[in-house]
Amino acid sequence: MRIFATICLLALASATLSAQKIHVVMFGVDGMSPDGVRRANTPNMHRMMQDGAYTLHDRSILPTSSSPNWAAMISGAGPERTGVTANSWERNDDGIAPVTIGDEGIFPTIFSVVRHGKPDAEIGVIHDWDGLARLVETTKVNYIKHEEGPYNTITEAVRYVSDKKPDFLFIHLDQVDGAGHDKGHGSPEYYQAVGLADSLLGVLIDAYKKAGIYDNTIFIVSADHGGVGHGHGGESMAETEIPFILSGPGIKKGYEIKGPVFQYDNAATIAYIWKLSTPNAWTGRPVKSAFVDNPDEVADAMERYTLEAPQIITNAPAGAPAGELYIDSIPTVVIKTNPAYKLYYTLDGSEPTEKSQVYTKPFTVDKTTVVKVKAFDKAGSQSPTVCGFYRVRKKGELHPMKYGYFESDEDLEVLPDFKSMTPKRIGECNEFNLAEIQNRGNNFALVLGGYIYIEKEGDYKFYTSSDDGSKLYIDNHLTVTNDGSHGLIWHSGDKAMTKGWHTIKATYFNGGGGYILNVYYKGPGITKQIIPADVLYGEKKM
């Protein structure tokens, strides 16, 4: 009887959804990361998560730039199909042509799908970023309006909802991305901007209630990308993961979507709500498990769900990995995770397993240590490995390298010719760490280095992780090339090293937006880690 009753309830919910005149709101917040949803004041989004279905591990497409991702969100496909590969994209440009085109000569979007399937639908687009309009098939919508700023955008949306009661409304807010670029992702100002987005979502929800259509409306909240430091466009998880939250009639309550969700699944999910046909060129799939008339996801025998990565809590600056250089102090390792998970960690560079040390409470390390931690659940699923790089030195043990700081009057797109420039400032730094060096934020460059002491001969791999470009030289040999204007991207190079002293030099530039430089190495008996102050010198020590 209980099974029969459950089947009847699911059937009733499905029938009710089909019988209603369903409205849909796509509420897109530029640059809003899962971290922002978790840590900012977001009662409306959390209420949607409690009353609906969600994942904080939706994946944006690469590159993690705005235009490619907004295009993917509304077009059900990535840049290799839409042709929108960068923010510089314009219609009828000389880039990659879309694999198929709609009436306006661009890849078909959700707006033409809704217009074709529901010819009488009222469709509106209200956007804060003026560049969004070129991605939209504007002839397929009834109303499109660019407003400056979040308050004006929502005010116009409230008016439109009151007047037209739209079947489909797409809203874009831009202030979170602006705060990320200006003050840094993870800054108090960033979380304040996310909180503002949440409060404006509440204003929009109230407008739907006043219009008498709230009970028939499905709200979807998502973003184009996250961010790291002051930028995005790179390949880090902080830039790639985004929230996907939906609630309303026919949506499961309090359901965490554990399987993979991608940026281009947004459009397919909206089409699924109205049971509309989608173009063959779309790759997006509707997130069916979020709806009450579909079963929950079950991982097959060949896969396990990837759990949310634990957090190692440190005071590392925005864009830097967990851990930092501790001078005359002993760091305490603090790790947080979902209470349902169990944490295992190592201190010897090995990968954590369920046989490793169990984390139960914070602990200290008294020497330079790489902490690796991984979360596991009872079903055997596990998180990615998270590393904390703790460098511990006494002040008298430091032997700083040298740096030269340069500024350019022109916009930098690649590393400049340093031989033709005069440094604006010369100073000392303990590591390859921009937090130690004051800069003006854009169109600046650095040359920094000295010596590295290699204790054990063998084959080594060196890495730079930078936004924008960087190069690394070992013994005047170009070992890692990571040049050009880009988001946070990794590159590496191999070098056979003898025991003893070697010169090491990094060059770096930032043209605009985020600025990040981290330099890593690994070798015999050395797990991959930030090159610590322990082995870096300003001059050889005899």
Last residue within a domain, chosen from 237, 261, 290 = 290
- pLDDT, tens only, 153-211: 999 999 999 999 999 999 999 999 999 998 889 899 999 999 999 999 999 999 999 99
What φ, ψ does residue 521 adopt, rounded to 5°? Answer: -155, 165
The answer to whether the beta carbons of residues 172 and 204 sit under 8 Å apart is no
Task: Mark whether 227 and 316 lie in a shared domain.
Answer: no
Asked if residue 364 is part of any domain, the answer here is: yes
Asked if residue 303 is part of any domain, the answer here is: no
Q: Rounded CA gap, 446 and 416, in Å?
A: 10
Task: Mark whether 423 and 371 lie in a shared domain.
Answer: no
Task: Mark whether 52 and 184 lie in a shared domain.
Answer: yes
Examine the pLDDT at 116 and tell me if it is beyond 70: yes
Q: Rounded CA gap, 80 and 264, in Å?
A: 12
Region 351-377 average pLDDT = 95
**Count of structural domains, the chain:** 3
Task: Mark whether 276 and 357 lie in a shared domain.
Answer: no
The radius of gyration computed from the CA coordinates of the chain, to the nearest angstrom, equals: 26
Task: Mark whether 355 and 426 lie in a shared domain.
Answer: no
Asked if residue 300 is part of any domain, the answer here is: no
- pLDDT, tens only, 459-518: 999 999 999 899 999 999 999 999 999 888 899 999 999 999 999 999 999 998 788 899
Asked if residue 267 is part of any domain, the answer here is: yes
Task: Mark whether 123 and 264 lie in a shared domain.
Answer: yes
Task: Mark whether 96 and 124 lie in a shared domain.
Answer: yes
What φ, ψ does residue 523 adopt, rounded to 5°? Answer: -165, -165
Last residue within a domain, chosen from 379, 395, 411 = 395
Examine the pLDDT at 258 and tell me if it is beyond 90: no
Q: How confident is the model at residue 2 (pLDDT cuts 50, 70, 90)?
A: very low
Task: Mark whether 264 and 360 lie in a shared domain.
Answer: no
Task: Mark whether 404 and 390 lie in a shared domain.
Answer: no
Asked if residue 45 is part of any domain, the answer here is: yes
Asked if residue 304 is part of any domain, the answer here is: no
Q: Rounded CA gap, 537 and 398, in Å?
A: 8
- CATH number assigned to the domain comprising residue 151: 3.40.720.10
- List, in order, residues 6 or more apart from 10 with CB less than 8 Å away: 292, 293
- CATH number assigned to the domain comprising residue 381: 2.60.40
The answer to whether the beta carbons of residues 183 and 190 sit under 8 Å apart is yes
The answer to whether the beta carbons of residues 32 and 242 sit under 8 Å apart is yes
Burial pattern 49-64, b for ≥16 Cβ within 10 A else e, equals bebbbbbbbbbbbbbb
Does 433 or 195 have the greater pLDDT score?
Answer: 195
Examine the pLDDT at 541 and tell me if it is beyond 80: no
Give me 54's structure tokens.
Answer: 């969600």
Q: Which domain holds residue 517?
A: 398-537
Q: For the range 348-353, what are the long-range contacts, defined as Cβ-Cβ under 8 Å and sequence gap of 24 or more?
A: 349/526, 349/527, 350/527, 351/385, 352/385
Region 80-108 average pLDDT = 91
Examine the pLDDT at 8 and tell me if it is beyond 50: no
Give me 430's structure tokens.
Answer: 């303990």
Examine the pLDDT at 447 and tell me if it is beyond 90: yes
pTM: predicted TM-score of the whole model, two decimal places: 0.82
CA distances from 253 to 24, 375, 503 (A): 17, 26, 59
Q: Rounded CA gap, 311 and 252, in Å?
A: 29
pLDDT at 448: 95
- Terminal Cα distance for the chain, rounded: 84
Asked if residue 516 is part of any domain, the answer here is: yes
Task: Mark whether 235 and 122 lie in a shared domain.
Answer: yes
Does 305 or 261 have the greater pLDDT score?
Answer: 261
- pLDDT, tens only, 328-358: 999 999 999 989 999 999 999 999 999 999 9
Region 127-152 average pLDDT = 96
Helix boundaries (H) for 376-516: none
- CATH number assigned to the domain comprising residue 532: 2.60.120.1560
Asked if residue 231 is part of any domain, the answer here is: yes
Lowest mean pLDDT among 223-237, 384-398, 487-501: 223-237
Task: Mark whether 372 and 409 lie in a shared domain.
Answer: no
pLDDT at 301: 63
Task: Mark whether 463 and 489 lie in a shared domain.
Answer: yes
Last residue within a domain, chosen from 364, 395, 426 = 395
